[in-house]
Amino acid sequence: MTITAYCRKTGIRFLYCCLFIFTGLVHLHARSQEKLNFTAKNVSLEHVFSFINKQTDYVVFCNYELLQQGKPVSLDLKNVSVEELLEQALQGQGLTYTIRGKTIAISRKEPVLHDQRIAVPPVVKGKVTDKVSGAAIAGVTVNVRGSQAVALTDNDGNYTIAATTDAVLVFSFVGYGKKEVAVNNQATINVALEPVSQQLDDVVITALGIKRERRAVGYSVTEVKGASLTEARETNFVNSLEGKVAGVNVSNVATGPGGSANVIIRGVSDITGSNQPLYVIDGIPMQNSTYRQTDISGGYGGADGGDGTININPDDVETISILKGAAATALYGYRGSKGVILITTKSGKTSKGIGVELNSNYVIQSVIDNTDWQKTYGQGSAGNKPVTGDDAFELGLSSWGAPLDGKQAYQFDGVQRPYSAVSGNMKRFYKNGGAATNTLSFSKNLGADGSLRFSASDLHNTSIIPNAGYQQQSFSLSTNYKLDKHLEVQLKAQYINAYTHNRPSVSDAPGSVNFATLFLPPNVNIISLAPGYKADGSENQFLDDAYTTNPYFAAYKFINNTHRNRFIGSADVRYTFDNGLYLQLRAGEDYFADRNTMVTPNGTAYQTDGAMTEENIKSTELNVDAIVGKPFKINKDFSITALVGVNSRKAVTDQLVATGNTFETPYLYTVGNLASPTEYTSNPVIVNKSVYGTMDFSFKNFLYLSATGRNDWYSTLAPGKTDYFYPSVSGSFVFSELLHIPGMDLGKLRAGYANVGGEADAPYQTLLGYNNIGNLFGFPIGNISNGGTVPNATLRPSSVKEFELGAELDFYGGRLHTDIAYYNKRESREVIPAVTSEASGYNAVLLNSGTILNKGIELLISGMPVKTKNFTWTEILNVTYNNNKVLSLSSGSSNYPLGYSRAGEDEGVGVAYMSQTLNKSAYQIYVADPARDDNGKIMVDPTTGAPVAGTDYKDIGSGIHPWTTGITSEFRYKHFNLSFLIDAKFGGKIFSGTNYYAYQFGLSKLTLPGRDVRYGTNEIYPQDYYNLISNTNPAIFVFDASFVKFRQIILGYTFPAAVFKNKIQGITLSFVARNIFTIKKHTPNIDPESNYSNGPQGIEQAQVPYTRTFGLNLNVKF
């Protein structure tokens, strides 16, 4: 069967299914909000309630027992309100309803109290209030445990119920924890119910933006409120998630403002590619390209080209829903296999009238100097000071001089200065950075018809690095409108204009602001290097190595800028038939245009004539979805919600690059001024087509099952192998509905399994192609265009299989909430460039090879130890353990090197490298191992006294932490709130290039002993001895990267509206701080979170230093 035929058949199969849904309908006519139409014969109450749930913003809650007792209704109502509909439906049922906010509670109408024929038990009265606000709560169900007796509180929160003196009253209401009180002869029982904390929201957003009851969901979903990211904020909002969510490992990428973020959900599952999750904003998959990352593979570092998430303004975010496992993300196909972060932006729905909100955030970023260098010896060699300026110039960063004596000594510029320590070069070079963010939003709730919100935001972030920073203006518009009773339209648009000014180079010394700054000898003041250039504009070299750039020259003369224009827009049309069937058509596009300008200026010591690269990148992803769905009621206990959808995705990147060196007219940095610019284009196009469906089954109110299926066609796979089907199933069992466990509000077990298949990350990998890449005296220079990777004409999709188990337990009216998850995720047949021997002519071959297993446990516990009207104390703890193991690589290979450290880099090979290794966890750090004798003892060269160089590398451990944890403490006293976050990671290692170089340069305190002795029979100098050790036994630079950090603190005060005579709804002023201090670390001279890559973790060197942030946040609501 040809693909086309198979496709067509599949398509038709689904179409039949759609038609079936069209015809098998109950006749219901519906409207939402104020005016509803409802026509139905003999339908259950549940049907009416689910109709209200679907068609309005209200959520109906009803005890299942009551529902079961309900009689079928037949109604024919036109243009009625929700209240009218309910009254009609509940007539004669013995039931009544209460509306509070957007929730409708159904309860028994007449308490048994009024039945005069029965012996009247004593009457208990009382008032139910909100424990936090003290306000009365209307509609609370008061039930005598073990009996049918039920009462409801009135509008003032008062109730009356007949109960025997030994009875136990059960108070329950939506949004509050259940409370049980023994009567014990009391005539009056006043009760304060506790609002349930946010994590216990009863509705969660799942894949495709479908809202589902939390109890029904068979996999782990964590929601984070946008509001929690806006106060103590990060330029890239993703970084503020660090330590907050179980199973989500966010780590710092130390590349300065405009750099990328690194998020790994449920472990490293991709052996070579990106492990970043899929970001979906309002239903539209977002581009999170990191097309220019720092380069761990070559060790040179370079600059971080940023990513896509940096453009998201957290002020526009309503909620973030994190779908971790494959069962949760199955509807997104392979792209969701590394987790999905669903971002729902704010709408105007919650505003009262016209809402105006201003959020202003001003923070100062100051450098954290982790270095603790020796201050005993100065610049020099073999224990001697420089004797001339030239001598100092040649000695450069060598701190192997004489003991600092405070007398005059020459420096590189020929000037004599005191030979004494001038500590604090880092604080002298790096300025205080700062970020100002102002977001102003307007919103309007149009009631039943829709809502509108518009926001404008400006972010201005100056880096701690001189002459660098990030700026962003963003505009966001969100509208939804009901055109008529069937048709609802939603339009969302965001426009972002961002400018990254001078992305800093990390790791290697050329063009780096960080390298020389770190390693200047103790007696050299960095100010003497300023301004970094001579009168003619060329670099003012301070040492005899063209490749170690003067940091001031790097900061002020190098250019590495990105201008980005981005537009993310979506249109969503939903047509709902009277019977509940809906059709939805959604199209969304994320388009950005980047212009990158990178200039190595004229006069750069290592590239005098200068060089330049100018890139224009236009990248777009278009997604079109059509979805049809409908709920079905099989009988009173059993219902099904079905959904079928199709998706078409097209991702196109259009890249035009001009690059070259030598500016014909010096200091004129244009492509046209280059002596011989080279231009090239690349145009990757990826097309996916998918058909997917989901069936949600529910039985009574305790058993839920969801099954999904997705069929994908991938353009990037081998011809004839582009079409695959993947299933998932998940379920939830709410056992607390069947067992009565004292104190337990919710007890739920869940399980899920999914199989997802995936495409190759990039197109054009199935065929060998040829092109020409230049011309030499009329000879076209041919080229195999696949680069170093052998194409593969038999590529199949990869496979991710994940099983997860979990439990959620809520106790004591939401005072204690626990969520535990276990997962087992196996990615296999990954389409990776399996590394090959270079002797094969290629570095890699694209193969379906590689298996990686992640097993882990996620635990979330939140508790409220104290809760009074004026004071609450909340603790939220999350703990994650992830066990990660590479089970197979390409055949014949047990090691997949990912890249060398630049430290000790000698002709492309460093003293350390990162690797994926068979039967080890991901990102293993290998270091050169000295020669050993038969007993494994390190062999020492008697002539030098230092270890003999070996040619083997030793595996030290993984750069990824298996344990991550965070604990948030929140205190609220009247109008004050205080929260802080302590987070920690354990078990990962890091190879420190910074410590390596400090050792070689004689800056490290470890090099202090034995400065005045000679080593070995050759009596070599300490500088040579230590230098040898650094290269022969670099394991001494691998550290345990575990840490505990005091990450964040927020202290806020909310001015009540009354202060402003209600003209302003509220003002909250907060003091905020992040990265306040490190409680525990094991990495001398560096921050343990010093990775500079958003890919492999575990190698650091001269990245942008960590910063401490503190400032103020002001939020005003008009």
Partner 1 sequence: MRCSLKHILAVAMIFIIHTSCKKDFLKTNTDPNSVSVDVFDPNNILTATQLYYTGSSDNAIEVEETEIQGAGCFIQHWASTSAYYFGDKYLFSPGGWGSFFDHAYTYQVKNAVDVYTTTIGKPQYKNLHQVARIMKALVFERITDVYGDVPYFDAGKAYHESKYFPAYDKQHDIYMDLLKEVSEAVDSLDENADKPVGDMFYASSDDQVAEWKRFGNTLLLRMAMRLTKVDPATAKTYVTKVIGKTMTSNDDNAIVRHGTNDPLTINRIYRGIGEDGGIQLSGQISKTFIDFLQSNDDPRLPVFSYIYPPDFSPGDDPSGGSAVPADQVGLPNGYDGGNTSHGIINYPGYLGNINLYSRPGPIIFNATAPTLILTYAESELLLADAAQRWGIGGDAAEHYNNGVIAAITQLSAYGDEGTISDDDAQAYLAAHPYNEAKGLELINTQYWAATFFNEYEAWSNYRRTGYPQLKPVTYPSSQSPGAIPRRMAYSTVDKQINGTNYAAAVAGLDGGDKITSRMWWDVK
Give least dist CB 81 to partner 1, A: 24
Maximal CA-CA distance, the chain: 113
Burial letters 734-748, b for 16+ CB under 10 A, else e? bbbbeeeeeebbbbb
CA neighbours closer than 13 Å in the CB half-sphere of residue 553: 30
Cα 403 from Cα 389, distance rounded (Å): 19
Give least dist CB 361 to partner 1, A: 43
What is the footprint of partner 1 within residues 577-596 (CB under 8 A)?
577, 583, 585
DSSP run (H or E) holding 982:
strand 976-986
Strand ranges for 1015-1057 from DSSP E:
1038-1040, 1043-1055
Give least dist CB 676 to partner 1, A: 5
Give 865: exposed, middle or buried? Use CB within 10 Å, 0-12, 13-18, 19+.
exposed
Q: Is 692 helix (H, G, I), strand (E, B) or coil?
A: strand
Residue 773 binds partner 1 (CB under 8 A): yes
Cα 453 from Cα 450, distance rounded (Å): 11
Residue 53 contacts residue 631 (beta carbons within 8 Å): no
Sole window of 156-164, 606-614, 739-747, 964-972 interacting with partner 1 (rule: CB under 8 A): 606-614
Candidate residues 1, 739, 776, 1058; the one interacting with partner 1 per rule CB under 8 A: 776
Residue 834 binds partner 1 (CB under 8 A): yes
Q: Pattern 1004-1023, binding to partner 1, x per CB under 8 A? A: ------------x-x-xx-x
Residue 560 contacts residue 612 (beta carbons within 8 Å): no
Give least dist CB 952 to partner 1, A: 9
Give least dist CB 37 to partner 1, A: 13
Query: For residues 784 and 1051, which CB has a smaller minimum distance to partner 1 in the complex?
Result: 784
What is the footprint of partner 1 within residues 932-961 (CB under 8 A)?
941, 943-944, 946, 949, 951, 953
Cα dihedral 101, 106, 111, 114 sign: positive
Candidate residues 11, 418, 569, 1066; the one interacting with partner 1 per rule CB under 8 A: 11
Residue 605 binds partner 1 (CB under 8 A): yes
Q: Pattern 742-771, binding to partner 1, x per CB under 8 A? A: ---------------------xx-xxxxxx
What is the footprint of partner 1 within residues 239-258 (CB under 8 A)?
none
Query: For residues 637 and 654, which CB has a smaller minimum distance to partner 1 in the complex?
Result: 654
Q: Strand 895-900 and strand 912-917: pairing?
A: antiparallel
Query: For residues 218 and 904, which CB has a smaller minimum distance to partner 1 in the complex?
Result: 904
Give least dist CB 686 to partner 1, A: 8
Candidate residues 17, 624, 707, 1112; the one interacting with partner 1 per rule CB under 8 A: 624
Residue 1031 binds partner 1 (CB under 8 A): yes
Instruction: For the beta carbon of residue 170, count every other beta carbon within 10 angstroms.
Output: 16
Residue 611 binds partner 1 (CB under 8 A): yes
Residue 399 contacts residue 379 (beta carbons within 8 Å): yes
What is the footprint of partner 1 within residues 12-41 (CB under 8 A)?
14-15, 18
What is the footprint of partner 1 within residues 796-825 (CB under 8 A)?
none
Cα 177 from Cα 200, distance rounded (Å): 10
Q: Strand 211-213 and strand 1043-1055: pairing?
A: unpaired
Whether the bond into 531 is cis, omega within 30 of 0:
yes
Query: For residues 825 and 829, which CB has a smaller minimum distance to partner 1 in the complex?
Result: 829
* Concatenated DSSP letters of 795-858: ---EEEEEEEEEEEEEETTTTEEEEEEEEEEEEES-EEEEE--GGGTSSEEEEE--EEEEEEEE
Tokens encoding 153? 């509180």
What is the footprint of partner 1 within residues 255-284 (CB under 8 A)?
none
Find, among 961, 1110, 965, the residue nearest to 1044 by Cα. Answer: 965
Give least dist CB 535 to partner 1, A: 14
Q: Pattern 488-527, binding to partner 1, x per CB under 8 A? A: ----------------------------------------
Query: If binding means CB under 8 A, how many residues of this protein chain bind partner 1?
Result: 119
Give least dist CB 673 to partner 1, A: 15
Query: For residues 378 and 763, which CB has a smaller minimum distance to partner 1 in the complex?
Result: 763
Give least dist CB 425 to partner 1, A: 24
* Single-letter amino acid, residue 1067: I
Candidate residues 166, 536, 906, 934; the one interacting with partner 1 per rule CB under 8 A: 906
What is the footprint of partner 1 within residues 1032-1071 (CB under 8 A)?
1032
Q: Rounded to 5 degrees, what angle do the CA atoms 965, 967, 972 make?
A: 165
Cα 728 from Cα 219, distance rounded (Å): 11
Query: For residues 968 and 1032, which CB has a smaller minimum distance to partner 1 in the complex?
Result: 1032
Candidate residues 92, 908, 936, 1009; the one interacting with partner 1 per rule CB under 8 A: 908
Query: For residues 739 and 776, which CB has a smaller minimum distance to partner 1 in the complex?
Result: 776
Report in angstroms the alpha-carbon separations of 711 from 14, 112, 724: 11, 56, 5
Q: Pattern 557-576, binding to partner 1, x per CB under 8 A? A: ------------------x-
Sole window of 56-64, 156-164, 787-795, 981-989 interacting with partner 1 (rule: CB under 8 A): 787-795
Residue 897 binds partner 1 (CB under 8 A): yes
Give least dist CB 772 to partner 1, A: 6
Query: For residues 598 and 646, which CB has a smaller minimum distance to partner 1 in the complex?
Result: 646
Give least dist CB 1075 to partner 1, A: 36
Find, among 506, 694, 604, 511, the residue nearest to 1093 by Cα. Answer: 506
* Concatenated DSSP letters of 389-426: HHHHHHHTT-B-SPBP-SSEEE-TTS-EEE-S----HH
* Single-letter amino acid, residue 582: Y
Give least dist CB 13 to partner 1, A: 10
3-state secondary structure 610-677: CEEEEEEEEEEEEEEEEEEEEEEECCCCEEEEEEEEEEEEEEEEEEEEEEEECECCCCCCCHHHECCC
What is the footprint of partner 1 within residues 844-883 (CB under 8 A)?
845
Give least dist CB 972 to partner 1, A: 48
DSSP run (H or E) holding 359:
strand 354-367
Q: Is 580 helix (H, G, I), strand (E, B) or coil?
A: coil
Residue 722 binds partner 1 (CB under 8 A): yes
Query: For residues 678 and 1062, which CB has a smaller minimum distance to partner 1 in the complex?
Result: 678
What is the footprint of partner 1 within residues 365-384 (CB under 8 A)?
381-382, 384
Candidate residues 49, 556, 669, 714; the one interacting with partner 1 per rule CB under 8 A: 714
What is the footprint of partner 1 within residues 640-699 (CB under 8 A)?
646-648, 660-662, 675-676, 678, 681-683, 685-687, 689-691
Sole window of 429-437, 463-471, 886-894, 1094-1102 interacting with partner 1 (rule: CB under 8 A): 886-894
Candidate residues 277, 791, 959, 962; the one interacting with partner 1 per rule CB under 8 A: 791
Q: Is 863 helix (H, G, I), strand (E, B) or coil?
A: strand
Sole window of 40-48, 208-216, 833-841, 1034-1042 interacting with partner 1 (rule: CB under 8 A): 833-841
